[in-house]
Chains A and B, each alone.
Chain A
Amino acid sequence: MSTGTTKLDVVVSDVVPVNDLVTRFHFRRRDGELLPTFSGGAHVVVEMRDGERTRLNPYSLMGSPLDTSEYTISVRRDDIGRGGSLFMHRNVRPGLEMVISYPVNLFSLDLRAKKNLMLAGGIGITPFMAQTAQLAGQGGNFELHYTCRTASLATYADVLRERYNRRVRLYHDDRDERIDLDRLLSTQPLGTHLYVCGPSGMINWVRDRAASLGWPSEAVHFEHFAAPQPGLPFDVTLAVSGKVIRVGEQQSLLEAIEAAGVDPPYLCRGGVCGQCETNVISSDGKFIHNDHWLSEEDHRSGCKIMPCVSRFEGRSLVLER
């Protein structure tokens, strides 16, 4: 059960290939009404009905928050993932009726900021598409530093450069262009807020350097949706509902719990929001924690797990569900 959100019945109004890896999808409401208002950084959870299987993946909304006639997401194809992005690329065509969640924002702008410094890596550009549109509409002060592998994979770099010109700075990995991060972080005016979205290595690097250089954590915002990783199958006892379930190789623990007819709360399904946090009653084995929600202490304690992205290897696991 998605916490506090109802579903939106939408139809795919357009599918636009952007480059070799990324495709953009446009959604409109089936009843022709406007979609709910959202703010830059919000995401929706897209339900993908693939035969017997339903996948629920979060994607950042990348359109302008000023236009709610349609929602747009961009999906990077992941050939070795669990198949959600491949389903979107292969099966989703204009005219397909789909269900998405209401938008939820776990990566919102702090509107008290004097300046917004944005760092994007790869497909991590998508929330910034919406945030820059929101800020530009309000005359907001921002600067975007965007790292991509090659010019041909620099998704929306051309659009951003055209819209915002020198406020966007590009770094191409294949040309050995690197952000001079310490210099960038040391020269920002007081009252700047930092936003970073990209691979987890980049997020950790930026957060670590910012903390060392005296940036308070209140001014550092990040988002990384961890895709649930496949792994060895494992058995779980759900103590409250009195069920024993098996989590398949390609299934997340949350999906397996849902498939057994138990309906735990969730929002982001990417290890970020904390809604599906579940108490461990007993365990004999090793946790594979993949979330960004629990503290290191929680991870070590073995008393909690985020079933949307984390797994388990061992003899027995009993959860309070």
Chain B
Amino acid sequence: MAAKSIISRPVYGTLSPQPGKHHLFIADAEGALAISDMAARAPAGFFDGAEIVFIPGPDGKHVGMLEALRPAQFHQAPSFASLLPRLKQTLTNAHMGLRLYLSGTEGLIGQAMQVALEAGIDHTSIQTEHRGSLARRMQCVHCKGITENVTTQPATCAHCGLLLLVRDHYSRRLAAFQGVCINAEDRTEIPPIEEAFP
């Protein structure tokens, strides 16, 4: 569970079935468990109008469990990048009444929400549940490069090499936390590096 912090730091809830006929789930790895937990509380026939898009974790688990929910459509993808064209197409053709459910890592939730915002979905209307790793997607505020799966504090920018303080300051537009140079005054000063986002 992500700790509470400044207002821009996203907080996540627990997936709950919304009214309507069309439901789109996007999940990665342990996010599948949030869907199956919700399924226990969903009304009969709920998944008849549901599409589940799933990115399995390295252990490859939970695919069978999601298929057993018998959604109208089930789609498996190796990465977020690989499902992006399909997701954009789905949202372009969708009508009001489609509800969005995002579960899993923060990187997945944030990137799916970024696409949803562009499609005109209000972020507060999206159901989210965080499961699994706390690893962060980070934007270096100096070179603007995005570094995926940041687990340490501070962290090195994969693009320009600066040592960055990973802030709780989050951008929904970029789907990334902001990283700011931690030793701008004296680059030889290297603070201890800790595993902060396991």
Contact = CB atoms under 8 A, between A and B. Distances in A.
Contacts of B124: 216, 218
B122 interface: yes
Interface string B13-25: 0000011111000
B125 A216 contact: yes
B1 interface: no
Contacts, number: 65
B161 interface: no
A222 to B, nearest CB: 16
Interface residues of B, number: 19
Interface in B82-118: 91-92, 94-99
A280 B18 CA distance: 36
Q: Looking at chain A, what size class is its interface with the partner chain? A: 20 to 34
A218 B98 contact: no
Contacts of A218: 122, 124-125
B121 interface: yes
B96 A215 contact: yes
Contact of B19 (A113, A114, A189, A212): A212
Nearest to A117: B96
Interface in A175-218: 185-192, 194, 211-218
Contact of B97 (A112, A113, A114, A214): A214
Interface in B9-54: 18-22
B141 interface: no
A244 interface: no
B5 to A, nearest CB: 24
A112 B124 CA distance: 14
Contact of A214 (B20, B92, B119, B122): B20
Contacts of A214: 18-22, 96-99
Contact of B95 (A189, A194, A212): A189
Contacts of B191: none
B95 A219 contact: no
A190 B122 contact: no
Given A211-B19, A213-B20, A219 B94 contact: no
A215 B119 CA distance: 15
Contact of A190 (B18, B19, B21, B96): B96
B60 interface: no
Interface in A203-246: 211-219
B119 A190 contact: yes
B96 to A, nearest CB: 4
A211 B20 CA distance: 8
Contacts of B120: 112-114, 190-192
B21 A191 contact: no
A192 B120 CA distance: 7
Interface string B47-77: 0000000000000000000000000000000
Contacts of B98: 190, 214
B95 A187 contact: yes
Nearest to A211: B19
B20 A190 contact: no
Contacts of A192: 96, 120
Given A186-B95, A214-B97, A191 B121 contact: yes
Contacts of A187: 95
Nearest to A194: B96
B97 A219 contact: no
Interface in A133-190: 185-190
Nearest to A114: B120
A33 B167 CA distance: 49
Contacts of B92: 190
Interface of B: 18-22, 91-92, 94-99, 119-122, 124-125
Interface of A: 112-114, 185-192, 194, 211-219
Given A214-B97, A216-B124, 16 more contacts: A112-B122, A113-B120, A185-B97, A190-B119, A190-B120, A190-B121, A191-B120, A191-B121, A192-B96, A192-B120, A213-B20, A216-B99, A216-B122, A219-B96, A219-B122, A219-B125
18 contacts: A186-B96, A187-B95, A189-B94, A189-B95, A190-B98, A190-B121, A191-B96, A192-B96, A192-B120, A194-B96, A211-B19, A213-B97, A214-B21, A214-B22, A214-B98, A218-B122, A219-B96, A219-B122
